[in-house]
Chains A and B, each alone.
Chain A
Amino acid sequence: MSMENFNIGYHCTGKQCELGRGGKVAMRWIGTDFERRDYTFDDLNRTTNQFANALAGLGVRRGEVLFTFLPKSPEQFVAFLGSLKAECITGTLFSNFGEDALIDRIGASEACLLVTRKSLYRKIEKVRDRLPALRMVILTDIQEDLSTDVLSWSRLMAGASPDFAVPVTDPETPSVLHYTSGSTGKPKGVLHRHRSLVKQTQTARDILGLRDDDIYWCTADQGWVTGTSYGIIGPWSLGITQVHFGGGYDARNWMELIEREKVSVWYTAPTALRMLLREEASLYGEFNLKELRHICSVGEPLNPEVITWGREVLGKDIFDTWFQTETGAIMISNRPGLAIRPGSMGIPYGDVKAGVIADDGTELGVGAQGNLCLRSGWESMFITYLKNESAYQSKFRNGWYMTGDMAWRDEDGYYWFLGRSDDVINTSGHLVSPFEVESALLELPEVAESGVIAAPDELLFEKVVAFVQLHAGFEYTPELELKMRIHVANRLSSVATPQEIFQVEALPKNKSGKIMRRVLKARYLGEEMGDISTLEERQ
């Protein structure tokens, strides 16, 4: 008996052609000028085959790591699926990452190849000597190779065969790599396997509610897990037509796009929805959104006000969904057929078993607050933190995966998010490590010490707030504040930029010298500081 092929690249392209969808539009690409370009499943199959062949020609082997570092662009999808066909480990890098963030990901994973474009390659050039494993870079916007290791996408693709025999891929074969930030240390490489396809397909069908005739738009950037699980894998494994838009947020453009392209299912983020909520309600009356059947949201908790706005202004429910980079697919959600409880994460999907667990490992009952955990073993569960197995093991206890989120469950099984159990900052759906921001600030000669916290924000859910102690002789000025903001944005990412920075005489530390972020947070919020018995005396 032949083994079932779990290859994600195959399921999203060749299999769709075999099912008779070769001529169906897989991707409707909308450029920043609103120009439309269609790619059928045949096109997607052929180009991803070419890319897989190009990789083989370059000597890239099964199991090697490669990354895309691109803004939303057609080449990103081709590179992603083509490399999965070749059984490479494929990572996507947010195009606004700075040098430190790039080194932490490309360097730590020992990636051998990067697909990017000229303007972004300038960042890589600056640090390439610190990326010894990086053998080749492919640029999507040059016609001829720049050197023996900086190659032209179009030249490579033109020379590559459109026929590729996708290997019968074992479900345990590593597939997608996304880095995620923790509250301490460097970002960790969350590694998935081809088996994740099972849950991504099921949830795209049952939670996003995708049907064969849908036009689907996921606004997430491919640099993050939503952008790959639900901007590539889930919908295309179901043969769905996806709209991808190269432009950024603009309320009018977005509504025009939904109207013009007859988007029927829309997956977006609470920050974007809150920005839309702030627009004049009359804007929405200008557009015919009747084709829009289903709206889902992911990234941060969806506040009830947005759900009410969706009903009143768009005439639609907005279904909040919850998952993490580590879970690979939606685990808990509101979905059609369930009554929405505004503010709730919803109910675990299918065979996903969730629980609220006390710090001592005891499973808690209805109404009790504790650690949100998932019983390990679901198909899209990550298989390790790349080159950091001990960190991976530390996430599991008694067969439970500890999500790092705190929650409680009501009597009907709905889960309610309370916050993080660590210091990780969730700003507009992006996880930011306070440690990384603190480290970036310390690179500046003026900064002696820094402490970074999450503070509540009406638009972003949480914002990055920094406290800095300057070296003697330096003065805190608006110029210095700007310098700090720009430095963090350019070293890490724009999303990590502190929205507020405070100068302090000293930072609160415990007796072993660790900065007490919770004390900073309590001070910021004007709350009681709690147990400060370990606070260093001079504080």
Chain B
Amino acid sequence: MITLEMLEPIFREVFDDNAVVLNRDTTADNIDAWDSISHMNLVLALELRFKIKFALGELKTLKNVGEMLDLINKKCSK
């Protein structure tokens, strides 16, 4: 099972901020560097590290990191 702690180093690398601490309620508003382009880098990083693929528009409906984590776990369990 993927945990928030496992996502943290990926977020820190993508957003170049070693102080990023995630909780389920974290959104792009809480991380300065999280914009639409760095979001694409995050998606690529998550796909590569967890060997999953997100469908087009699948991430658009997610409200926060918690929902993102749930989606990753769902994909990993398939």
Please list the residues of chain A having a beta carbon within 8 angstroms of any beta carbon in chain B: 32, 71, 95-96, 98, 119-120, 122-123, 246-249, 478-479, 481-482, 485-486, 489-490, 494-495, 497
Contact = CB atoms under 8 A, between A and B. Distances in A.
A486 B48 contact: no
Nearest to A71: B32
Contact of A494 (B13, B35, B45, B48): B35
Contacts of B40: 485, 497
A96 B38 contact: yes
B45 A495 contact: no
Given A32-B29, A485-B44, A494 B38 contact: yes
B32 A486 contact: no
Q: From DSSP, what is the main secondary structure of chain B's interface residues?
A: helix
Contacts of B32: 71, 95-96, 119-120
Given A482-B45, A485-B41, A497-B41, A96 B35 contact: yes
B4 interface: no
B14 interface: yes
A120 B29 CA distance: 14
Given A122-B17, A486-B14, A478 B48 contact: yes
Given A71-B32, A479-B48, A485-B44, A494 B18 contact: no
B16 A123 contact: yes
Nearest to B38: A494
A494 B37 contact: yes
Interface of B: 13-14, 16-19, 28-29, 32-33, 35-38, 40-41, 44-45, 48
B13 A486 contact: yes
Contact of A482 (B16, B29, B38, B41): B41
A284 B45 CA distance: 34
Contact of A249 (B13, B16, B36, B38): B36
B32 to A, nearest CB: 5
Contacts of B19: 119, 122
B17 A119 contact: yes
Contacts of B48: 478-479, 482
22 contacts: A119-B19, A122-B18, A123-B16, A249-B36, A478-B44, A481-B44, A485-B41, A485-B44, A486-B13, A486-B16, A486-B41, A486-B45, A489-B33, A489-B38, A489-B41, A490-B16, A494-B35, A494-B37, A494-B38, A494-B41, A497-B37, A497-B41
Nearest to B31: A119
Contact of B33 (A32, A249, A482, A494): A494
A489 B29 contact: no
Contacts of B17: 119, 122
Nearest to B19: A122
A98 B36 CA distance: 16
Contacts of A495: 37
A497 to B, nearest CB: 5
B73 to A, nearest CB: 21
A349 to B, nearest CB: 32
Contacts of B44: 478, 481-482, 485
A137 to B, nearest CB: 16
A92 to B, nearest CB: 15
A61 B10 CA distance: 43
Contacts of B13: 486
Contacts of A120: 32
Contact of B35 (A98, A246, A248): A248
Nearest to A117: B32
Contacts of A479: 48
A18 to B, nearest CB: 38
A370 B37 CA distance: 34
